[in-house]
Structure 1
Amino acid sequence: MSDLVRVVVEDGPAEGSGAGRAGAGGGSRGNRTGRGFSGGGGRGFAVGLKLPGLLLAAVLGLVAWQITLIDVGSGQIAVLTRKIGLDLKNSDEIAPSAQHKGVQRELLTEGRYFRNPYVWSWQVVPQVEIASGEMGVKISLTGEDPDYGEFLAKVDERGEAVTKGIVPGVLNPGRYPVNPFLYKVEVHKPTTIPAGYKGVVTNLAAPLAKEPNRLLVDASERGVQKTTLEPGTHYLNPYVTRVDLVDCRSQRFNLGQEDDMGFPSKDGFWVSLDGVIEFRVNPEKAADVYVLFNRSENGPLIDDEIVQTVIMPNARSFCRLQGSNSSGREFIQGETRSAFQKAFEQEMRLACEPLGIEIIQALITTIRPPEKIAEPVRRREIAKQEELQYKQQVLQQESEQKLAVEKAMVEQKQALVTAGRDVVKSTTKAEEEQQVALTLANQQLAVSQLKLDASLDEAMAIEARGQAVADVVRFDNEAEAAGWKKAVQAFDGDGQAFARYVLYQKLSTAWRRMMVNTADSPMMKILDSFTEPAARTSTGRKNAVPATEPATPGGQEQAQTGGIETDVNLAQ
């Protein structure tokens, strides 16, 4: 395209230049012949020729852009086909290289590309889109035919198919640029295994097993695999792997659902019964159970085959063999029925577990013996049951009586325990109160003792102080008495004389004036009381000391001092 545009652009100015030169030549010739075109007119003519040339070049460039552009949008691819080049061989279905004619292996993804339309042709197609919850399977349309018995395409190191057939693996949800001339993409649903199921895997494309008589084969061999798939979603190629669901949940089946489940008794009576068997497929042996009991007419489901092939035959066999060992009337009794029920469940488990079937529960719900023997036996059994019921009632009443006695004893013991508890509680409380009171009394006694000791100490102190004061007073009195005694001794032991002396001494200095009208006045009577004894003493004594004369100098000083005090008192 660039070469084409460049040629167009270059041709425009070249032609313009020629025209200019022609114009210029014409002008010169015109000048030579009569002026012709002027030089300015030649340049205008050249510019007029250049504008159409540029416009033509732009148009040609746009056309070249459009015819060479490959615009691959989002979610699309472009498949290229070469028109010219090396010829293909008769066995080639697609160009082996970019130099050969035909459809190319390489694709153009999103973007803009430029190709020569003379050499290439192209086709823009949408990419393969796998939605969520789906998967894609690629089928190779080119290459050599697969070998006999094979349908899988062989792939190289890059993962590209080199032969025709189904490409191993799957395309998960997403968008893929797949060449529609090389591959065909089929959309399938992934394998979903619900909860409680197991997925039995069958390999459809591996080599045949070396030992074809085995139930299960190894993972690298064709056939049913040992390993099963757990519940969930699995993206597996349906042409390579087939997955069959095996229900491993608990299932119930009634023995009398299809026909009469009965057997002849030991005495020849027909005994009918009904029961319920709860079973499930062992999850670890799901593949073995599927191979053993699957039938093509029932499809992938094996529940009916398990019931018809395993459950019912073993149940009929046990009932007929074990039931024929007992008489018809024995099946009315509860003991025989219980033993029959227990043996039935045990035998069903032993027979079914080796085959991969787990018996969860096997119950005989109903046993119907013939009416000819059922009615009398039933009445007898009813009588026995009533007898047992009455005995049970007697035992119950005795038990109730014992229970009442024991209950009364328990209540009595509880009352005794309660009373003893109250006594202990009261005793404990009294002891605690006594202890508290004793503690308080001891505390008060100690306090009183301390107070008594303090009082005794204080009394002794008071007594000591009183004794000291008394001693002081006594000593003072004794000292004073000693003085008086000495003074009395000065009057020859005559106290009366000493008293008059003291009185006269006090009065002699205290009198200021005395007004006495008669000799009978009270004052004179007082003085008379002192004169009469003096007269008596003066007559009886020869050497009497004068009343005004002190016995000793010390006594005189004391008398004078006493007279002063008396004088003051009298003056007052």
Structure 2
Amino acid sequence: MTDNRVIVRPPNKASGIALLLAIILCAMAFSLTWFVYTSFRIDVGSGEIAILTRKIGKDLKNGEEIAPTPEHKGIQREVLTEGRYFRNPYTWSWEVVKQVEVASGEMGVKVSLTGDDLGYGEFLAHVDEKGEPTTKGIVPGVLNPGRYPIHPYLYAVEIHKPITIPAGFKGVVTNLAAPLAKDSNKLLVEKNERGVQTTALEPGTHYVNPYVTRIDLVDCRSQRFNLGQEDDMGFPSKDGFWVSLDGVIEFRVNPEKAAEVYVLFNQQENGPTIDAEIVQTIIMPNARSFCRLQGSNSSGREFIQGETRSAFQKAFETEMRKACEPLGIEIIQALITTIRPPEKIAEPVRRREISKQEELQYKQQVLQQESEQKLAVEKAMVEQKQSLVTADRDVVKVTTKAAEEQQVALTLANQQLAVAQLKLEASLDESRAIEARGKAAADVVRFDNEAEAAGWQTAVQAFSGDGQAYARYVLYQKLSSAWQRMMVNTADSPMMKILDSFTEPIGRTLAVQPPVTAPAVADPPAGPAAAP
């Protein structure tokens, strides 16, 4: 018999200890692995960079701030961009910072913080063939809108606004960092020389380094200036009277000479704008000079008259253009709006001028009446000529129409005559044909009658020339087919009496003459058969 009992043995202490040790070792290994993983891991997120600093290695020289190579201690030049990296925390330390971001509508300027110091007067960093700066200072060029992984210990980034040149303006370019010009007496310099450049920028948005290039706006649009805006604009006349005037000058800067005008007339106390300088140094001096020189050649009363005013106005505009255009200022128009002579001479001269104007007006009215009279006569003559031309045209038109109608009627009559002749000839031909057909039909009828008459004559001769007997024979032939229907049972019927009247002559005739067979002829016409 089999023993199925389970034997329970006490637990082995050695196996439990081993299991516990294994669990502890696994936990320690996991903890160590996790510690190493988290301690060695560098997570660089989107839009970030990691700056590495080496703790051990070669020492830096005096004056060095950044490790020149990865084997040196200190902050490393290379940065870690987005991603996951592993570094030994006992050898390295790191710092995660945001990348430099240049927003839309802005630009960035890099400033090198490391390298050799610049010489006296220099502010732009020197760069090598790869474009990397080798000295401290402002790095040429700009950063356009975007995101850049720039090392913050190597470079500082300044945010600036780009230069926007509106429509109607020109951008005068001044190079601030190029070598000095060879010819220092020139207003404008060449492209790669320091100073104001010859070529100006067109309207638009320009991304330029403000430490390298300065752009000043010059308004090239049309502008107006009132001559009497600041003070009394006047001049002494030839006879010593003071004549005041007012006017408007419309001008603009020549876009082709914007840089030259800016250099000549820009004043530091007024800032970058040159409009006030143009008015004070060009417009007003030339206007005063012309008015005083030209106005002193005429007396005060002459400026009341229209001819002198018109001549003064034309000469003023012409002289202003000649004086301003060589300086780069275009005069669009120069108008003298008001000329005010002294009232002592203005009133009597004005009355006299009014009288002259009225006299001229009356003369003009007389001339106008005479002209209207001549015009009326000429108009009547023209209308008469037009009527004659119209009558002649109507006569020609009627005559031509009558001739055309006559020609049409003549042509139509000739056509009708030709048609009538053709119809006459056709009628003659048709009458001849009818006559021929009539003769032929008459001959046919005559021949038929003669043939029929010959047949009757021969038939009558068969009855011994008795036509009445032949007629009775023909009647019997016609009635023989219907004889049975006409017969009746009684011999005393009226029909039998009628027939009896024909029997005796026929019997006698047949007894005397031998029977003769009559020729087969067609049914005779009613006329000849009815004749005895």
**Could you tell me the TM-score, scaled by structure 2's length?**
0.79
Residues 1:380 and 2:352 are matched in the alignment: yes
Hey, what does 1:494 align to over in structure 2? Answer: none
Residues 1:158 and 2:130 are matched in the alignment: yes
Q: Which amino acid aligns with 2:175?
A: N
Report the Cα distance in structure 2 between the residues aligned to 1:383 and 1:570, rounded to whole angstroms: 139
Contact 1:510 1:571 in 2 (8 A): no
Residue 433 of structure 1 and its aligned partner are, at CA, apart by 4.2
Hey, what does 1:346 align to over in structure 2? Answer: 318
Hey, what does 1:142 align to over in structure 2? Answer: 114
Cα-to-partner distance string for 1:171-217 (whole Å, 9 max, x where unaligned): 00000010000100000000010011111011111111122121111
Give 1:98's match in structure 2, choosing from 65, 70, 94.
70
Report the Cα distance in structure 2 between the residues aligned to 1:334 and 1:378, rounded to whole angstroms: 11
Report the Cα distance in structure 2 between the residues aligned to 1:512 and 1:245, rounded to whole angstroms: 154
- Cα distance, 1:57–1:453 mapped onto 2, change above 3 Å: same
Contact 1:510 1:570 in 2 (8 A): no
- Cα distance, 1:459–1:184 mapped onto 2, change above 3 Å: same
Hey, what does 2:477 align to over in structure 1? Answer: none
Contact 1:74 1:110 in 2 (8 A): yes
Cα-to-partner distance string for 1:433-464 (whole Å, 9 max, x where unaligned): 44444333333222211111122233445566
Give 2:210's match in structure 1, choosing from 229, 238, 248.
238
Contact 1:68 1:117 in 2 (8 A): yes
Secondary structure at the counterpart of residue 105 of structure 1: strand
- Cα distance, 1:168–1:458 mapped onto 2, change above 3 Å: same
Report the Cα distance in structure 1 between the residues aligned to 2:389 and 2:145, rounded to whole angstroms: 82
Q: Say what the alpha-carbon RMSD is for the aligned residues.
A: 3.0
Give 2:177's match in structure 1, choosing from 200, 205, 212.
205
Residue 430 of structure 1 and its aligned partner are, at CA, apart by 4.4
Secondary structure at the counterpart of residue 107 of structure 1: strand
Residue 358 of structure 1 and its aligned partner are, at CA, apart by 0.7
- Cα distance, 1:451–1:117 mapped onto 2, change above 3 Å: same
Hey, what does 1:123 align to over in structure 2? Answer: 95
Residue 260 of structure 1 and its aligned partner are, at CA, apart by 0.6
Hey, what does 1:404 align to over in structure 2? Answer: 376
Hey, what does 1:170 align to over in structure 2? Answer: 142
Report the Cα distance in structure 2 between the residues aligned to 1:62 and 1:151, rounded to whole angstroms: 51
Report the Cα distance in structure 2 between the residues aligned to 1:57 and 1:89, rounded to whole angstroms: 42
Report the Cα distance in structure 2 between the residues aligned to 1:472 and 1:199, rounded to whole angstroms: 129
Report the Cα distance in structure 1 between the residues aligned to 2:189 and 2:531, rounded to whole angstroms: 165
Secondary structure at the counterpart of residue 347 of structure 2: helix
Residue 98 of structure 1 and its aligned partner are, at CA, apart by 0.5
Q: Which amino acid aligns with 1:90?
A: N
Q: Which moves more between the two structures, 140-149 or 434-443?
A: 434-443
Residue 222 of structure 1 and its aligned partner are, at CA, apart by 0.8
Secondary structure at the counterpart of residue 49 of structure 1: helix
User: How many residues are paired up?
Assistant: 452
Residues 1:302 and 2:259 are matched in the alignment: no
- Cα distance, 1:321–1:447 mapped onto 2, change above 3 Å: same
- Cα distance, 1:471–1:245 mapped onto 2, change above 3 Å: closer
Hey, what does 1:327 align to over in structure 2? Answer: 299
Report the Cα distance in structure 2 between the residues aligned to 1:511 and 1:112, rounded to whole angstroms: 159
Q: Which amino acid aligns with 1:57?
A: A
- Cα distance, 1:87–1:469 mapped onto 2, change above 3 Å: closer
Residues 1:82 and 2:54 are matched in the alignment: yes
Report the Cα distance in structure 1 between the residues aligned to 2:24 and 2:468, rounded to whole angstroms: 185
Give 1:314's match in structure 2, choosing from 286, 289, 314.
286
Contact 1:198 1:286 in 2 (8 A): yes
Residue 389 of structure 1 and its aligned partner are, at CA, apart by 1.1
Secondary structure at the counterpart of residue 189 of structure 2: coil
Report the Cα distance in structure 2 between the residues aligned to 1:459 and 1:570, rounded to whole angstroms: 37
Report the Cα distance in structure 1 between the residues aligned to 2:189 and 2:467, rounded to whole angstroms: 172
Hey, what does 2:162 align to over in structure 1? Answer: 190
Q: Which moves more between the two structures, 426-435 or 145-154?
A: 426-435
Query: Max radius of gyration: which structure?
Result: 1
Q: Which amino acid aligns with 1:292?
A: L
Hey, what does 1:229 align to over in structure 2? Answer: 201
Give 2:243's match in structure 1, choosing from 256, 260, 271.
271
Contact 1:204 1:222 in 2 (8 A): yes
Q: Which amino acid aligns with 2:107?
A: M
Report the Cα distance in structure 1 between the residues aligned to 2:216 and 2:377, rounded to whole angstroms: 70
Contact 1:140 1:165 in 2 (8 A): yes
Q: Which moves more between the two structures, 163-172 or 416-425?
A: 416-425
Secondary structure at the counterpart of residue 217 of structure 2: strand
Secondary structure at the counterpart of residue 361 of structure 2: helix
Report the Cα distance in structure 1 between the residues aligned to 2:186 and 2:200, rounded to whole angstroms: 17
Give 2:412's match in structure 1, choosing from 431, 436, 440.
440
Give 1:220's match in structure 2, choosing from 179, 192, 201.
192
Residue 372 of structure 1 and its aligned partner are, at CA, apart by 1.1
More helix by share: 1
Report the Cα distance in structure 1 between the residues aligned to 2:411 and 2:359, rounded to whole angstroms: 76
Give 2:335's match in structure 1, choosing from 341, 355, 363.
363
Q: Which amino acid aligns with 2:188?
A: L
Residues 1:392 and 2:360 are matched in the alignment: no
Residues 1:336 and 2:308 are matched in the alignment: yes
Secondary structure at the counterpart of residue 226 of structure 1: coil
Q: Which amino acid aligns with 2:104?
A: S
Q: Which amino acid aligns with 2:110?
A: K
Give 1:69's match in structure 2, choosing from 41, 63, 83.
41
Residue 397 of structure 1 and its aligned partner are, at CA, apart by 2.2
Residue 368 of structure 1 and its aligned partner are, at CA, apart by 0.8
Hey, what does 1:484 align to over in structure 2? Answer: none
Q: Which amino acid aligns with 1:54?
A: C
Unmatched 5+ stretches in structure 2: 1-8, 447-460, 470-527
Q: Which amino acid aligns with 1:450?
A: L
Q: Which amino acid aligns with 1:144?
A: D
Contact 1:82 1:102 in 2 (8 A): yes
Secondary structure at the counterpart of residue 210 of structure 1: coil
- Cα distance, 1:466–1:377 mapped onto 2, change above 3 Å: same
Residues 1:284 and 2:229 are matched in the alignment: no
Q: Which moves more between the two structures, 153-162 or 434-443?
A: 434-443
Q: Which moves more between the two structures, 408-417 or 304-313?
A: 408-417
Report the Cα distance in structure 2 between the residues aligned to 1:73 and 1:351, rounded to whole angstroms: 68
Residue 570 of structure 1 and its aligned partner are, at CA, apart by 12
Secondary structure at the counterpart of residue 200 of structure 2: strand
**Could you tell me the TM-score, scaled by structure 1's length?**
0.74
Residue 312 of structure 1 and its aligned partner are, at CA, apart by 0.6
Hey, what does 1:18 align to over in structure 2? Answer: none
Cα-to-partner distance string for 1:336-356 (whole Å, 9 max, x where unaligned): 111111111111111111111
Q: Which amino acid aligns with 1:101?
A: K
Q: Which amino acid aligns with 2:351?
A: R
Secondary structure at the counterpart of residue 277 of structure 1: strand
Residue 43 of structure 1 and its aligned partner are, at CA, apart by 3.7
Hey, what does 2:426 align to over in structure 1? Answer: 454
